[in-house]
């Protein structure tokens, strides 16, 4: 018994993604609906972080979730028991969502009465960074086992985000991850992004992340 | 002082990648040159595995390495001190290499006298699986921290490879990774792929991987 739908989204036939993304963002702003675009490599911990985020903010914000994947519904299955509105999007093999595909997802989900929708984007550090989804804010997760050199290899991703979550910090001693070096590398690409170490597994750092997100959602509704 | 070049590869203007890949593979076969296409998510351990592979096989096989990335030359820098021929390829933002781009890389490297070239493909589990590079064999690395559910989410990648290396098994206890479940999920997509648990960090399992690769290279030259 699933409490979510699976939506096969269509490849956008429209040119001009930037303009369509700007239009979607303006519409979300008018409606006071905050859309967070959450990106990462496969297995960096997007879903577990999202579960922690729902636990931290679900009582005060009405949340919805768009789970995008090439295939499967494992992520929507993981989210559904939390009682938030969730829909699984299948991208038909594509490695990113654009603004039109995001709009299809929001319409499929139904956003009436929601404060915050999180788009869990498809797992990769390349294509997803190339397409503005129309989100209010962009965040990414880099997990400790991936290594502190990733800003050098995927500079575009690190330059387009408003927040960088460094996940699996409980494994920091196990892997050779230098947070100071990593932070310096991110700073060179993106001086304004907020960098937040977390462990979605233990809950460490989640309060600071939730506080950042809460403030962004409030600012979006008020300003 | 770099001992490698950086080559900005051009986006292929050719249609029909499959035919071009088949032609490249046939040419490599005629020349007795084995090309391994190594794929994974960012940070799964391609470069460290490659260093271990060079240490295991470098004395008996003349090896070359194509390091493909969006940007940076950190991987070629890591490989160069091993004394094998290496070239850094920049894809100009593209998330994969196709057969024509691989050919540009091989020509840039210079393959005269080599037995084995490893293409360290761009770090992602989506686009790279969609384009036949013309390689003799395709291998992928899935690292333990990424999770055992990845075959469900990236089925195409798991279905096109000849070998699956499960890396960072020294971290198996730390993460909830079920090797049996993972193996079953891979088997459903790909009954013939060889699945090999390794730790590129400790060296565990590298001998079995090197043995598989050695046999494949010999078979390619002889058959």
- State the pLDDT confidence band at B216, using cuts at 50, 70 and 90: very high
Residues 8..27 of A with a Cβ closer than 8 Å to B: which?
none
- State the pLDDT confidence band at B159, using cuts at 50, 70 and 90: very high
Substitution target in B42, B157, B185 with the highest count of A β-carbons within 10 Å is B42
Residue A8 confidence (pLDDT): 80
For A19, residues 6+ apart whose C-beta sits below 8 A from its C-beta are none
Inter-chain CB proximity B43 and A150 less than 8 Å: yes
Instruction: Give dist(CA B166, CA A222) in Å, integer.
Output: 48
Higher confidence at residue B11 or residue B213?
B213
Residue A12 confidence (pLDDT): 67
* Cβ of residue A6 closer than 8 Å to a chain B Cβ: no
Instruction: Give dist(CA B33, CA B200) in Å, integer.
Output: 25
Strands B163-167 and B194-197, how do they pair? parallel
Q: pLDDT digits over B91-139, tens only?
A: 888 899 999 999 999 999 999 999 999 999 999 999 999 999 999 999 9
Which domains does chain B carry?
5-9+18-222 (3.40.50.300)
- State the pLDDT confidence band at A1, using cuts at 50, 70 and 90: very low
Element holding A99 (H helix, E strand)? helix A99-109
Q: What is the mean pLDDT of residues A12-35?
A: 91
| pTM for this predicted structure | 0.91
Residue A27 reports pLDDT greater than 50: yes
Q: Closest-CA residue in chain A for B148?
A: A43
* Cβ of residue A169 closer than 8 Å to a chain B Cβ: no
Instruction: Give dist(CA A185, CA B198) in Å, integer.
Output: 30
Residue A173 confidence (pLDDT): 87
Inter-chain CB proximity B149 and A74 less than 8 Å: yes
Q: pLDDT digits over A177-211, tens only?
A: 999 999 999 999 999 999 999 999 999 999 999 99
Of the candidates A99, A146, A95, A192, which has an alpha carbon nearest to the alpha carbon of residue B157?
Answer: A95
Residues 47..106 of A with a Cβ closer than 8 Å to B: which?
69-72, 74-75, 93, 95
Residue B157 reports pLDDT greater than 60: yes
Q: Closest-CA residue in chain A for B126?
A: A95
* Cβ of residue B178 closer than 8 Å to a chain A Cβ: no
Helix orientation angle between B46-57 and B206-222, rounded to the nearest 10 degrees: 70
How many other C-beta atoms lie within 10 A of the C-beta of residue A200? 26
Residue A142 reports pLDDT greater than 90: yes
% of chain A at pLDDT higher than 70: 97
| Token pair 């079920």 in the structure block, residue | B178
- State the pLDDT confidence band at A13, using cuts at 50, 70 and 90: low
Residue B13 confidence (pLDDT): 66
* Cβ of residue A145 closer than 8 Å to a chain B Cβ: yes
Tally of helices (H runs) and strands (E runs) in chain A: 9, 8
- State the pLDDT confidence band at B1, using cuts at 50, 70 and 90: very low
Cα(first)–Cα(last) distance of chain B, in Å?
Answer: 41
* Cβ of residue B31 closer than 8 Å to a chain A Cβ: no
Residue A6 confidence (pLDDT): 80
* Cβ of residue A150 closer than 8 Å to a chain B Cβ: yes
B12-19 — which CB contacts under 8 Å span 24+ positions?
A: B12/B98, B12/B99, B12/B100, B12/B101, B14/B100, B17/B98, B17/B99, B17/B100, B17/B131, B17/B132, B18/B132
Which of A72, A130, A168 lies nearest to residue B152, judging by beta carbons? A72
Residue A148 reports pLDDT greater than 60: yes
Q: Find chain A residues with C-beta within 8 A of B67's C-beta.
A: none
Q: Find chain A residues with C-beta within 8 A of B44's C-beta.
A: 146
Of the candidates B191, B190, B194, which has an alpha carbon nearest to the alpha carbon of residue B208?
Answer: B194
ipTM surpasses 0.90: no
Instruction: Give dist(CA B111, CA B117) in Å, integer.
Output: 8
SS3 B43: coil
CA-based R_g, chain B, Å = 16
Q: Closest-CA residue in chain B for A156?
A: B93
Q: What is the mean pLDDT of residues A133-159?
A: 97
Residue B60 confidence (pLDDT): 96
Q: Closest-CA residue in chain B for A177?
A: B43
* Cβ of residue B171 closer than 8 Å to a chain A Cβ: yes
Higher confidence at residue B94 or residue B61?
B61
Instruction: Give dist(CA B64, CA B55) in Å, integer.
Output: 13
Inter-chain CB proximity A74 and B130 less than 8 Å: no
Please tell me the distance in Å from A222's CA to the nearest CA on chain B: 37
Which of A70, A123, A152 lies nearest to residue B74, judging by beta carbons? A152
Instruction: Give dist(CA B111, CA B63) in Å, integer.
Output: 9
Q: Closest-CA residue in chain B for A45?
A: B146
Substitution target in A48, A73, A79, A124 with the highest count of B β-carbons within 10 Å is A124
Residues 105..134 of B with a Cβ closer than 8 Å to A: which?
122-127, 130
Of the candidates A25, A17, A61, which has an alpha carbon nearest to the alpha carbon of residue A138?
Answer: A25
* Cβ of residue B150 closer than 8 Å to a chain A Cβ: yes
Instruction: Give dist(CA A186, CA A116) in Å, integer.
Output: 27
Instruction: Give dist(CA A211, CA A193) in Å, integer.
Output: 15
Mean pLDDT, rounded, of chain B: 94
Q: Which range, of A80-94, A156-170, B38-52, B197-211, averages the lowest pLDDT?
A: A80-94
How many other C-beta atoms lie within 10 A of the C-beta of residue B60? 12
Q: pLDDT digits over A45-97, tens only?
A: 999 999 999 999 999 999 999 999 998 899 999 999 999 999 999 988 889 99
């Amino acid at each position: 018994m699933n409490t979510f739908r699976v939506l096969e989204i269509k490849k956008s036939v429209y040119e001009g993604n930037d303009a369509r993304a700007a239009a979607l963002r303006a519409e979300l702003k008018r409606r006071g609906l905050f859309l967070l675009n959450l990106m990462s490599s496969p297995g960096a911990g997007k879903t577990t972080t999202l579960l922690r985020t729902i636990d931290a903010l679900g009582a005060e914000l009405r949340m919805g979730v768009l789970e995008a994947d090439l295939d499967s519904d494992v992520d929507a299955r993981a989210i559904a028991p939390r009682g938030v509105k969730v829909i699984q999007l299948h991208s038909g093999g594509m490695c990113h969502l654009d603004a039109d595909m995001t709009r299809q997802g929001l319409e499929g989900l139904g956003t009436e009465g929601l404060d915050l929708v999180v788009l869990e984007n498809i797992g990769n550090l390349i294509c997803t960074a190339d397409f503005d989804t129309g989100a209010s804010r962009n965040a990414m997760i880099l997990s400790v086992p991936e290594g502190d050199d990733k800003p050098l290899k995927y500079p575009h991703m690190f330059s387009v985000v408003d927040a960088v979550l460094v996940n699996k910090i409980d494994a920091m001693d196990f892997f050779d991850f230098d947070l100071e070096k990593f932070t310096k590398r991110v700073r060179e690409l993106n001086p304004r992004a907020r960098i937040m170490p977390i462990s979605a597994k233990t809950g460490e750092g989640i309060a600071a992340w939730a506080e950042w997100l809460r403030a962004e959602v409030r600012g979006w509704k008020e300003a």
